[in-house]
Structure 1
Amino acid sequence: MKTALLVPVYNEQEVLPLFRQKVQEVAAQLPQEKFEYIFVNDGSLDGTAELLKEWARQDPAVKVISFSRNFGKEAALTAGLSQAAEADAVIILDADLQDPPELIIPFLQKYKEGFDVVYGQRCDRSQDSFLKRFTAGCFYKCYNAISTRPLPANAGDCRLLSRRAVRAVLALPERERFMKGLFNWVGFPTAAVPFKRQARPAGQTKWNYWRLWNFALEGLTASSTVPLRLWTYFGFAVSGFAFLYALWVAFQKIVYGNPVSGYASLMVAILFFSGVQLISLGVIGEYLGRIFIEVKQRPLYIIDEKINCD
């Protein structure tokens, strides 16, 4: 059985030697398996590229794809899956070791039991900050509330995909790719492997809260049109409330002679509805932006160099 380990990397020079050591220790426990290593260098600015090139020269099982610049993790995953399309199974791992390489063993066990998709589920995220755990929980709840294909909670990119699952993902043509959603959308028999999320042993995370916020918006708008529909419902509700309030004001004036509220209430109403309009335009703009990117049909990534690749 041929298994490809897909590792997207960006400025991971500090942690890569330890990552490779851990993976080789796990591979040694599975002598019957044939592993190849696909590293996708996503425009790293440190010594990551040179380190990967050295490994590729020493070991033909190490394959390296280097981008011309940083295109993002979703593009890196797509490039790696394209390279690994002929493998029996592909296992996606992050180089930061927060998702431990030891998951390879139960992933392959589940695959041999007949599962096409096996994902790691973070049952213990105590290594993450409270804010990160809270915001991640909010994202999963919001996503699952509007999506027709809910995501399993605390499931990241760390997972195994069978050959037919990989081909199904690669057949999806969109350029704005939310890979967690795509992995989930293709279906197939799926199993979870719970694990405890580890602390990063070296280097620094490349995800700040601003990038995570933008990533969450991409995920929500990539997977559902419900946000647009919600603003339609909200518009009807506000219009209905305004009509009823107008009847109430007229009734008060005709029956009791009460004066109609003046400047303060008028300004509050104007500011409130102006805010609603701007938010609704922002939601529409998110979808228009995705259409704009799709119709340009630019490539997902540009490869600068490939080593040991077919």
Structure 2
Amino acid sequence: MNQEEQRKTLSLVVPVHNEEDTIHLFYNAIEEIKPKVNATIDFHFIDDGSTDKTLSILRDLAEKDEHVHYVSFSRNFGKEAGLYAGLQQSKGDYVAVMDVDLQDPPELLPEMLNEVESGEYDAVGTRRADRKGEAKIRSWFSSQFYKWMNKVSQTHLVDGARDYRVMTRQMVDAILSMTENQRFSKGIFTWVGFKTKYIPFENRERVAGNTSWSFWSLAKYAVEGIVSFSTMPLTIVTFLGLITFGASILAGIFIVIRALISNTSVAGWPSMVTIMLFIGGIQMLSLGIIGRYIAAIFMETKKRPIYIAKEEK
């Protein structure tokens, strides 16, 4: 058995969507650090229904390098589906998840792998130590999400944590056993347990191209995370209902007593309309929150596949 066969394999899972400008840059960056990585690296690119030349570039890379593999979806299913597909396709002893835009520093990969190989940790992840270069409003909302998510959920999320991490095969298999349709990987990575260490790094800008993550898509992603890992919103709705019900009983008693004592009729239109709008608003908010959970149940009961592969190599 030669040295190449004795070396363990590290599978790189890389979801891509319209990333024709970054794929070669990412591939070359990994090639540069390969001598420092104590494992054979396999690439698993997941094309999430790209409409540019992404798939063509992946085909060319796969032809030139036997360690490059790809799966192309029949349409855009989202990054979460891409991560799940990549973990399914990975065969390595260790698995790393990375973004193709090089916001995840490749030079950390050798250190991360060494930490996992030592056996002390089951996974080594990364987190941003700062948010330099990011819009202040977006940074504020992001920090608030982590803050409140950790308050309403038993699954603790590390502030600034990235998907970028190296995991053991055992941990990956545990993640794959969770076949839910509504996926929130940051929560899943934490929920499955296993001992994890986080390495901080300074925030980096994309090397090329534009992000497909708009503020609205990030907001929807945050809602997915809350619905997937917390029932606290439903508890809040219950308490709001109890508070408004109690307040209405007290108000009714007050009105009856006042009528018996003074026997006068007061129009009170402004206060009545205000109360009606207040209660109506709480009802609509409550129905919206309950509806979001019902929608998640609805999607799960359909048992639809998380993704559909059109082409793979």
TM-score over 0.5 for the alignment? Answer: yes
Match of 1:19 among 18, 21, 26: 26
Say which SS state the counterpart of residue 191 (structure 1) adopts. strand
TM-score normalized by the length of structure 1: 0.94
For residues 255 and 125 of structure 1, what CA distance do their matches in structure 2 show? Answer: 63
Match of 2:174 among 168, 173, 179: 168
Which residue is 1:97 aligned to? 102
Which residue is 2:56 aligned to? 50
Would the aligned equivalents of 1:3 and 1:90 in 2 still touch at CA under 8 Å?
A: yes
Would the aligned equivalents of 2:93 and 2:169 in 1 still touch at CA under 8 Å?
A: yes
Match of 1:298 among 294, 300, 304: 304
What do the CA deviations read for 1:222-272 (whole angstroms, capped 9, x no partner)? 111111111001111111122223333444444566754521111111111
Match of 2:212 among 177, 193, 206: 206
AA paired with 2:105? Answer: P
Across the aligned residues of Structure 1 and Structure 2, the Cα RMSD in angstroms comes to 1.5
Would the aligned equivalents of 1:3 and 1:91 in 2 still touch at CA under 8 Å?
A: yes
For residues 146 and 22 of structure 2, what CA distance do their matches in structure 1 show? Answer: 29
Per the TM alignment, residue 291 of structure 1 is displaced from its structure 2 partner at its CA by 1.0
What do the CA deviations read for 1:49-78 (whole angstroms, capped 9, x no partner)? 000110000010001111111110000100
Alignment of 1:217-232 (within 5 A): 217-232=223-238
User: Alpha carbons of 1:26 and 1:259: their partners in 2 closer, same or farther (altered >3 Å)?
Assistant: farther
For residues 161 and 263 of structure 2, what CA distance do their matches in structure 1 show? Answer: 62
Aligned length, in residue pairs = 305
Which residue is 1:2 aligned to? 9
For residues 136 and 256 of structure 1, what CA distance do their matches in structure 2 show? Answer: 55
Alignment of 1:102-113 (within 5 A): 102-113=107-118
Alignment of 1:245-264 (within 5 A): 245-255=251-261, 260=266, 262-264=268-270
In the alignment, structure 1 residue 279 sits paired with structure 2 residue 289? no
Unaligned stretches of 5+ residues in structure 1: none
AA paired with 1:6? Answer: V
Which residue is 1:151 aligned to? 157
Per the TM alignment, residue 98 of structure 1 is displaced from its structure 2 partner at its CA by 1.2
AA paired with 1:64? Answer: Y
Identity percentage of aligned residues: 38
AA paired with 1:91? Answer: A
For residues 49 and 230 of structure 1, what CA distance do their matches in structure 2 show? Answer: 46
Would the aligned equivalents of 1:249 and 1:260 in 2 still touch at CA under 8 Å?
A: no
What do the CA deviations read for 1:183-229 (whole angstroms, capped 9, x no partner)? 11000111111111201121001011111111111110011111111
